[in-house]
Structure 1
Amino acid sequence: MSTPRLLTDYDACDLAEMLQNRDISVRQVLEACLARIDAVNPSVNAIVSLRPREDLLAEADKMDASGPAPNQPLWGLPIAVKDLENTKDLLSTSGSPLFADNTPEDDSLMVSRLRAAGVLIIGKTNVPEFGLGSHSYNPIFGVTRNAYNQSRSAGGSSGGAAVALATGMLPIADGSDMMGSLRNPAGWNNVYGFRPTAGLVAKDAEGDAWSQSLSTNGPMARSPRDMDLMLRVIGQPDHRQPLGQPAYKGYEDVNPKNISIGWIRDWSGYYPMEKDVLKTCENALDIFRDLGCTIMEYTPTIAPESLWDAWNILRSHSVACASAPLWQDPAKRALLKDAHIWEIEQGLSYSARDIHHAGIIRSDWFREVADLNLTTLALPSAQMFPFDADISWPKTVAGQAMDTYHRWMEIVIPASLIGLPAVSVPAGFSPHNLPMGLQLIGKAGQDAQLMGLAQTYHEATRFPQNHPPQI
């Protein structure tokens, strides 16, 4: 006799449809998620600032009484928002002691769109301090632990979101990605993370709207179809943004025979790789080949060292512009972690000529990809499997010393530097049952095609559903 299926096992799209049809209630879905949180979250610490249960149940009952309004595709779905986003009347700390008591009066633009689409916000998901570093720990809430091995890192900065998805605490989640923060934790927790084309998900209308940011918000889920559901909500233009993209209207049904994937591998040995990372990703590429895709090895002509140099300049400059006021106040500087101070001081040291030179490299790389006779590029989502959760960052990869706190994640910058859409799909597991992801990188604006390709792969593999964590 088969075990009855739990509501927390359903895809978000299926739950949304059942909720819209009133086949299930918002209270039923919420209670299932809260039960799962009670059972699992103490071991992984993925969800933080959970709202009081009585408040959540009262809100669910109110939603059930009124029913969904028109144009609320996410109605009734519980979600915990990444703790880098402002959420009205809910603690929003960015993982920093400087904001340990911060309760915003307004939602961020993305959160307001999710709320308008009908989500039930239950709390936040854990992050590294200010989102810096691909390991989700901070002095307020502590360490988020991997869904498949609680002694290992969950990745970051969307580590809490990825673990909450993998363990069934949430049906869908938001994340953000500057240096792989949607891709690394997705890969390390056997779920999907999608970094949209720069500008597709509009940011808050404040500050300099002309300088293209290196970071973007995006969706995470246990299937591309679920990510697509969220991206149709948050991937909408904002008339106050001068550098946006047309509205995202849903994924394309792709014919794999029309897809050519350039496998960059380790960029001719430039990226140090832990044993079995490449093998795991090549096994995933074999699935794409079996589906009909053309797979070929591709080595870019641009020097990878130049991308790293450009990235460091532009990233540190961006961090410094955002955080210099904190650094200039000695009392606040004392509460910043060392990596943050290093980023700010690096950024403040660069000249206009340095920034211009980095922009030239960035532009050269964009032009090279734009001219490629390939639809997609592929790289591992990380250069190593999840590391010990009790260290700050890995000092070596495959015996090679890492000279910065983020060098071990260098493999994500080819997409981040030029704002390309990229999705991390589950690739499989190491001999020690640690997950790895495969990055698929599309050309600018080809989000719908990339999402459709990921969904085709998912239908052939269903890694999250077929290999859930044993927790």
Structure 2
Amino acid sequence: MEAQANSPLVYEDASALAKLIRTRQVSPVEVMNAHLDRIEALNPTINAIVTIVDSARQAAKVAEAAVLSGQELGPLHGVPFTVKDSIDTANVMTQRGSPIFKGRIPQNDATSVARMKKAGAILLAKTNLPEFSYWIESDNLLSGRTNNPWDLTRTPGGSSGGESAAIAVGMSPLGLGTDLAISVRGPAAQTGIVSLKPTHGRIPMTGVWPRVPRRFWHTGPMARSIRDLDLAFSILGGPDGLDAFATSVGPFEASVGYSPDRQLRVGWLIEPGFGPIDPEVAATVEAAAQALKDLGLFVEPVRIQALERDFALDVFNRLHVMEMKEAFRQATAGRSQDEIYKMAKTMLSLPDTSMNDFIDAEQAAERLRDGFAEYFQQYDALITPVLPIPAHKHGLDTFIINGQTVDATYLQGATVPLNVTGLPGISMRYGTSQEGLPIGVQIVGSWLAESTILHIASLLERVSPVGDLHPAL
């Protein structure tokens, strides 16, 4: 089992595994066994996986038979994937990080899960998250705390922290997460993988809880390569007729995108507008910008006045509290306080936003959208930090960042503007802290311009100074 747990297959990306399976160089059974053995060996330490799918090995055997019989194969045929435990999976527990939902088994797959399966991927496991998907650390009363494989004393982030840790350490090649303010991009940066928060509505939220406030929620792929994000996005995108926000065209049809005949224009921004940023993170963003300039893109530092006028984190907090409180209130009604963890209790204790503040915040959100619209008249992309610091120690509530003391919500300062506005963004590693921790950068595009930021991310990936690093476990 130890040899299988250390198989090189566990660090192949999903695209490579699909090709190896399609060309019969490796069987789906071998790939599945390698990942299951990896989970058995490492999950007791990382605690990223909360449920293993009992039928995964049998599904791999079925996939192997399809290859051998010459059947038509999907683009991810035989490739395992994992799913955050707030996303419904038919006949597989989806417990939302809470004793309130312990043992809950949905009848249907979320749209995103169904599309992955249709592409031939095999559901391997469900991954850990904060209670109700609501916090920047993946910890709850039901399945406990997930550790960062780069340093077990640190968090892999939230709310898709189990997903990020599983992919980073080779327990999964590809996964699905959700993002309300930071939740696929922050965890990716903290564990050194890649993730995509698409334009709002590109990937349906059908089968994901909580449903509100859906104007800020996104489903997105998490992986170890930009080409895997590209492939997953091509599979996941498009309306499903059930999520009313998911009305945009498919991923590439009529998509705003780059032209190879035109020099791309990219701005980079560290401060102001996001709150304080650690110097190591700032240096990483500047290094990524310089790398793009060296590759022939037009790159320059920018300021976005809308971000300086309206702090997006404040706008977000005033807009989402009442809707989230109602969802939490309904979920916890009649339940013992012993079944409710600290973040749900905190949310339920917050005062409601006044109507005047709510209206003011809605107007601020419009100003932020307008400000970004103006920016993207001149530029194709924006390079920013993902997080203001690398992965932090477990359980911290306040941080000193570049000499300024802030509370933990400030970790969302550079990511939440994309949720308020609905813009797409990619998180990818481009640096390493003095303590050996991953540092990520965020590549932001205009609405529907995923093809542009995927292209820019692929350029950065080719010249990345971090190479193909993995946690030493």
1:340 paired with 2:344, answer yes
Residue 295 of structure 2: aligned partner = 291
Query: Contact (CA 8 Å) 1:263, 1:297: kept in 2 or not?
Result: yes
Match of residue 380, structure 2, among 347, 362, 375: 375
Residue 117 of structure 2: aligned partner = 115
**How far 1:462 moved relative to its partner?**
7.6
1:156-214 per-position Cα deviation (integer Å, ceiling 9, x unaligned): 11111112111122111111111111111111111111100000001218999998520
**How far 1:382 moved relative to its partner?**
0.4
Could you say if the C-alpha distance between residues 73 and 419 of structure 1 is closer, same or farther in structure 2, counting changes exceeding 3 Å?
Answer: same
**How far 1:324 moved relative to its partner?**
2.6
What residue identity is the alignment partner of 1:249? F
Match of residue 427, structure 1, among 426, 430, 433: 430
What residue identity is the alignment partner of 2:63? M
Task: State which drifts further: 430-439 or 66-75.
Answer: 66-75
Residue 185 of structure 2: aligned partner = 183
Query: Contact (CA 8 Å) 1:209, 1:242: kept in 2 or not?
Result: no
What residue identity is the alignment partner of 2:318? I
Query: Contact (CA 8 Å) 2:429, 2:440: kept in 1 or not?
Result: yes
1:271 paired with 2:269, answer no
What residue identity is the alignment partner of 2:58? A
Match of residue 218, structure 1, among 205, 217, 220: 220
Could you say if the C-alpha distance between residues 360 and 70 of structure 1 is closer, same or farther in structure 2, counting changes exceeding 3 Å?
Answer: farther
Query: Contact (CA 8 Å) 2:21, 2:28: kept in 1 or not?
Result: yes
**How far 1:299 moved relative to its partner?**
1.8
What residue identity is the alignment partner of 1:382? L
**How far 1:345 moved relative to its partner?**
4.6
Residue 52 of structure 2: aligned partner = 50
Task: State which drifts further: 42-51 or 237-246.
Answer: 237-246
1:289-310 per-position Cα deviation (integer Å, ceiling 9, x unaligned): 2112222222221235542332
Task: State which drifts further: 111-120 or 330-339.
Answer: 330-339
- 1:198-347 correspondence runs (5 A): 198-204=200-206, 213-243=215-245, 244-249=247-252, 255=260, 258-267=263-272, 271-302=275-306, 303=308, 305-327=310-332, 329-332=333-336, 335-346=339-350
SS at match of 1:417: helix
Query: Contact (CA 8 Å) 2:80, 2:173: kept in 1 or not?
Result: yes
**How far 1:369 moved relative to its partner?**
0.9
- Scaled by the length of structure 2, what TM-score is found? 0.89
Residue 128 of structure 1: aligned partner = 130
CA distance in structure 1 between the partners assigned to 2:180 and 2:309 by the alignment: 18
1:317-363 per-position Cα deviation (integer Å, ceiling 9, x unaligned): 33124223135x252555333332333454x7124443332221111
What residue identity is the alignment partner of 2:286? E
Task: State which drifts further: 316-325 or 124-133.
Answer: 316-325
CA distance in structure 2 between the partners assigned to 1:206 and 1:13 by the alignment: 26
1:235-272 per-position Cα deviation (integer Å, ceiling 9, x unaligned): 1212344432110139967659722222221217x612
**How far 1:143 moved relative to its partner?**
1.6
- 1:63-78 correspondence runs (5 A): 63-67=63-67, 70=72, 72-78=74-80
Could you say if the C-alpha distance between residues 408 and 304 of structure 1 is closer, same or farther in structure 2, counting changes exceeding 3 Å?
Answer: farther
**How far 1:283 moved relative to its partner?**
1.9
Task: State which drifts further: 122-131 or 202-211.
Answer: 202-211
CA distance in structure 1 between the partners assigned to 2:212 and 2:47 by the alignment: 37
Could you say if the C-alpha distance between residues 305 and 342 of structure 1 is closer, same or farther in structure 2, counting changes exceeding 3 Å?
Answer: farther
SS at match of 1:440: strand
What residue identity is the alignment partner of 1:65? A
SS at match of 2:235: helix
Could you say if the C-alpha distance between residues 253 and 70 of structure 1 is closer, same or farther in structure 2, counting changes exceeding 3 Å?
Answer: farther
- CA RMSD of superposed structures (Å): 2.7
SS at match of 1:406: helix
Query: Contact (CA 8 Å) 1:258, 1:293: kept in 2 or not?
Result: yes
Query: Contact (CA 8 Å) 1:93, 1:101: kept in 2 or not?
Result: yes
CA distance in structure 2 between the partners assigned to 1:27 and 1:222 by the alignment: 21
Could you say if the C-alpha distance between residues 418 and 110 of structure 1 is closer, same or farther in structure 2, counting changes exceeding 3 Å?
Answer: same
Residue 147 of structure 2: aligned partner = 145
Query: Contact (CA 8 Å) 1:86, 1:106: kept in 2 or not?
Result: yes
Match of residue 451, structure 1, among 447, 454, 457: 454
1:28-80 per-position Cα deviation (integer Å, ceiling 9, x unaligned): 1111112222332222111221234xx43223212222348646222111112
**How far 1:396 moved relative to its partner?**
4.2
CA distance in structure 2 between the partners assigned to 1:206 and 1:16 by the alignment: 27
Residue 60 of structure 1: aligned partner = 60
CA distance in structure 2 between the partners assigned to 1:150 and 1:334 by the alignment: 27
- Identity, in percent, stands at 26
Residue 363 of structure 2: aligned partner = 360
1:76-118 per-position Cα deviation (integer Å, ceiling 9, x unaligned): 1111211111111212111111112212122112112222222
Query: Contact (CA 8 Å) 1:235, 1:247: kept in 2 or not?
Result: yes
**How far 1:395 moved relative to its partner?**
4.6
Query: Contact (CA 8 Å) 2:147, 2:156: kept in 1 or not?
Result: yes
What residue identity is the alignment partner of 2:41? A
Match of residue 442, structure 1, among 440, 445, 451: 445
Query: Contact (CA 8 Å) 1:219, 1:227: kept in 2 or not?
Result: yes
Task: State which drifts further: 293-302 or 361-370.
Answer: 293-302
**How far 1:381 moved relative to its partner?**
0.7
What residue identity is the alignment partner of 1:277? V
CA distance in structure 2 between the partners assigned to 1:211 and 1:148 by the alignment: 33
CA distance in structure 1 between the partners assigned to 2:166 and 2:261 by the alignment: 31
For structure 2, the 5+ residue unaligned runs are 1-5
CA distance in structure 2 between the partners assigned to 1:248 and 1:332 by the alignment: 44
SS at match of 1:238: coil
CA distance in structure 1 between the partners assigned to 2:397 and 2:172 by the alignment: 27
1:407 paired with 2:424, answer no
